[in-house]
Amino acid sequence: MTVVVAYKWAYNPQEASVSSDGQVDWSRAKAAVSADDPVAIQVGRQLADNLATDLVSVSVGTAAAATPMARKAAMSRGIDRGIIATAPDTESWDITTTAQGIAALVHRVPDAQILIAGDAAIDDNAKMAPAIAAGYLGWPCFQNVVGITPREGGWNVIQAVDGGSRTIAVTGPVVCMVTPDAALPHIPGMKDILSAGKKPADVIDASELALASHRISVVSAEKPPARERLKVVFEGPDAPRQLIAALRQESAL
């Protein structure tokens, strides 16, 4: 049995800028392991230790994701070995293609029984890629996961729900999207970073995965017309009530 974790090497949108015409400029943004992925890696590490097995990572990205710096940033967090699929145009891939690539990499991991992923990637925050990957794998997928324990023939998945949590018994392989507070991420030290450079990481060309072609292109974009401000002034002792009523009418409350 092998535990697999997915991570993404992506630009942080907080460091990007947006022009007046809506174009996003990433030139000043720095790439890093996506914000929620260290939590997923830590959950995977704890589960792999519990099972006395390896934690294998899978990732899809440009050649930047396979650089020594990028590999060390991920592997130093507790990963035993990794598989990285690269292509020059992955930044323009839609989520479905990326998810298909993740699933194809999981298929390359012998005896993979669980795929753990973060809540969302920092660059798109769509919370969809792991679920779509589950569809390609034919595995059930659970979101809002706060804990995972092995059971005979499967897993106990602890999922956060309104008012508390629930434990779901799952038979067979599963995909789990963990919440940001599912574990306290390991902060790599110098020893971790140095040893990470010696860990095996297979880098393959994404063309080897034979992904289905379904490219999506944005052909046009437009902004909705600006709404004219009402410029209403409420005065007198009844002003607070009138303001609240006006805000509710405009669906602002």
- The answer as to whether 47 is a domain residue is yes
* pLDDT in the model for residue 125: 63
pLDDT recorded at residue 198: 93
214: pLDDT strictly greater than 90: no
Confidence of residue 22 (pLDDT cuts 50, 70, 90): confident
Tokens, residue 119: 């809540």
Q: 96-122 pLDDT, tens per residue?
A: 999 999 999 999 999 999 999 998 776
pLDDT in tens, 142-197: 999 999 999 999 999 999 999 899 999 999 999 999 999 999 999 999 999 999 99
Let me know if residue 234 belongs to a domain: no
pLDDT at 12: 77
Q: Tell whether the model's pLDDT for residue 29 goes beyond 90.
A: no
Beta bridge partners of 32: 10
Q: What is the span of the domain harbouring residue 42?
A: 2-209
Residue 238 lies in a domain: no
CATH number, domain of 204, equals 3.40.50.620
**pLDDT band at 127, cuts 50/70/90?**
confident
Lowest mean pLDDT among 59-63, 169-173, 224-228, 241-245: 224-228
Rounded CA gap, 253 and 245, in Å? 9
| Weakest-pLDDT range from 136-140, 188-192, 218-222 | 218-222
Asked if residue 110 belongs to a domain, the reply is yes
Residue 235 is assigned to a structural domain of this protein = no
Q: Residue 10 is inside which H or E element, if any?
A: strand 9-11
Q: Is residue 242 part of a domain?
A: no
Residue 81 binned pLDDT confidence (cut-offs 50, 70, 90):
very high
Beta-carbon count within 10 A of 199 CB: 16
Round to whole Å and give the CA distance between 48 and 42: 10
Does the structure show a pLDDT above 70 at 211? yes
Q: Is the pLDDT confidence value at 4 over 80?
A: yes
Which pLDDT does position 119 carry in this prediction?
A: 82
In a domain, 96, yes or no: yes
Structural domain tally of the chain? 1
pLDDT of residue 221: 78
Confirm whether 64 is domain-assigned: yes
Average pLDDT (65-88) is 96
> Shortest CA distance to 38 belongs to which of 7, 72, 83?
7
With bands split at pLDDT 50, 70 and 90, how would you rate the model's confidence at 6? very high
Taking the C-alpha atoms of residue 174 and residue 183, their distance in angstroms, rounded to an integer, is 19
Strand partners, 8: none
Q: What percent of the chain is predicted at pLDDT more than 70?
A: 98
Residues 6+ away with beta carbon under 8 Å from 105: 58, 59, 60, 83, 85, 209
